[in-house]
Structure 1
Amino acid sequence: MIVDESMMIGSEKLLLTLAMPAINAGSAITEKDITIVDISIAKSWNRTSIKNVLEMVADKIGHKPEYVISDNGSTVCKAVRDAGYAHHLDISHTLGMFLERVYKKEADFQELSNNVQLARFKYNMQDVAYVQSPSQRSIARFMNMSKWIDWISRMQYLYYTLQNDIKSIYAFIPQNASLVDELAETMDCITKIEKDVKIMVGRMIQSVGASNL
C-alpha cells in the first residue's frame, strides 16, 4: 500500500491510497502495476483519521497490507504505526530531508537559490529565458533538487562560452563556484545511494518472494 496526503482541493486536502504487488517483479513500477483503492477528502488529516482510512482500505481488499510506503510526514507515519502495519519510508524523500537539514539555513545556499529564482522571474519573458533554471516546487523542493543542481552546474561549466548579457545576469554562479561544485558532488552521492538502495531492496524482495514459492 502507498499512501500520501496529495494536494489541496479548495479548502480540503486529498488523501490518496494505492495498492501494488508486495513482491517486486524486478523492474520499475509502472501505472499497470498500481491500483487506486481509495481517494478521501477532508478539511484536515490527523493520525486517527488516516489510520481509519488505512484500516477501511484493508477491509475493502480483504487482508492487511504486507507493508506500507509513505513519505516522512509525521501524521502518516503515526497512523501506519497505530494501525500496526510494517512501514517503509520513501528513500528519495528521506535523503531530501538530509539535504534540507544541511543547506536550508545556510546563508550562501540561500543567497545562491534566491539569485537563481530572481533571475528566473525577472527574465522569464525575455530573449535570454532559454537558459533559465528549471522551476522548483516551494513545497518539498529539497526532494526535487537534482534538475536544479544539474542546471547550475552546467551553467558554471559553460559560463565563459555564453554571450555577454547572459554572463552579466548569471555572474553570481562562478562567484559561488565552490558551493556549486559541492552541491553537484552531493547530488551525485545521493543519486548513487538511491540507486544502490533500490537495487538492494529489489533483490531482497525478489529473494523473499522466491523462497515463498
Structure 2
Amino acid sequence: MRKLGLSVYEEDLPQGRKYAHVVDESIMINKEKLLVVLGVPAEHTGKPLNHDDVIVLGMHVGECFKRDDVKEANEKAAEKTGSSPEYGISDGAHNLVGGFKDAGIDHHLDISHTLGNCMKHVYGKDPEFVSLTEKLGKIRLQYHLTDKAWLLPPNMRAMARFMNLREWVTWGRKCLIVLVPWMTT
C-alpha cells in the first residue's frame, strides 16, 4: 500500500499552516464518483504549484455528492489540518459551490473552467465553430478504426470541449505545417 501512495493520505499533516481547499468530483466509474479534497498553500508561493505543494486531505466515494456532503468533506479536511481553509477552489458545480457556502468558506472558480466558460460564450453558438466540430466528429467516426486514425484530431469530450481547445489548435497547426511548410515561421 505504501507504494500506491496511501501512506501520503494517512500521514499526519503539519498543523498551523494556512491552506486552501481544492475540491472536485472525478469522472463516474459505474455508479460511483470520487470526491477529492486537496490542500494547497493559501498564500502565493511566488511560483506555480507542483505536486510537492499539494496534500490529499480527503477522498470520499459515493453515487452523488450533495452540498451537505461537500460541506462535511470540507469540515473533515479542516479537522485534519487543524484549521479552516482560507478559501476554496472548485469548478462551478452547484453542489461544490453550495458546500463551500454552507461551510462558510469563500469560494473561487478554478481558472480552467472559467476560461472554458469564456470560450463557450464566444464560440458555443458560432456557426463556423459548430460546423467545424460537426465535420471533425464525422471524420473521426469515418476513420477512427483505419490506418489513417493517427491523423485524426484529438477527441473532444462534450463536457470539457471548451477547456481543451488548445489540443485542437495544436493539432490544426501541425497539419498546416505539414501541408504548408512555409507556415513554420
TM-score by length of 2: 0.77
Between the two proteins, what is the percent identity of the paired residues?
36
Instruction: Report how far residue 118 of structure 1 moved.
Output: 1.9
Q: What's 1:35 paired with?
A: 55
**Contact in 1 for aligned 2:58/2:76 (Cα 8 Å):** no
- Structure 2 distance, partners of 1:101, 1:30, is 30
- Structure 2 distance, partners of 1:83, 1:89, is 16
Count residues with an aligned counterpart.
Answer: 161
Q: What's 1:66 paired with?
A: 86
Name structure 1 gaps, 5 residues minimum. Answer: 162-213
- Structure 2 distance, partners of 1:27, 1:160, is 38
- Structure 2 distance, partners of 1:125, 1:13, is 30
3-state SS in 2 of match to 1:112? helix
Instruction: Report how far residue 157 of structure 1 moved.
Output: 5.9
1:152 maps onto 2:172 in alignment: yes
1:18 maps onto 2:38 in alignment: yes
Structure whose residues are more often helix by fraction: 1
Q: What's 2:153 paired with?
A: 133
Provide Cα deviations, 1:61-118, integer angstroms capped at 9, x if missing partner: 2110111111111221121112111222111210111211232233332221121122
3-state SS in 2 of match to 1:14? strand
Of residues 117, 133, 136 in structure 1, which corresponds to 2:137?
117
Deviates more, 1:46-55 or 1:20-29: 20-29
1:1-213 equivalent positions in 2, closer than 5 A: 1-156=21-176, 158-159=178-179
Instruction: Report how far residue 141 of structure 1 moved.
Output: 1.5
Q: What's 2:10 paired with?
A: none
Note the aligned Cα RMSD (angstroms). 2.0
- Structure 1 distance, partners of 2:147, 2:25, is 39
**Contact in 1 for aligned 2:58/2:77 (Cα 8 Å):** yes
- Structure 1 distance, partners of 2:155, 2:139, is 12
TM-score by length of 1: 0.68
- Structure 1 distance, partners of 2:173, 2:67, is 41
Instruction: Report how far residue 140 of structure 1 moved.
Output: 1.7
Counterpart amino acid of 2:107? H
Counterpart amino acid of 1:129? A
Counterpart amino acid of 1:57? A
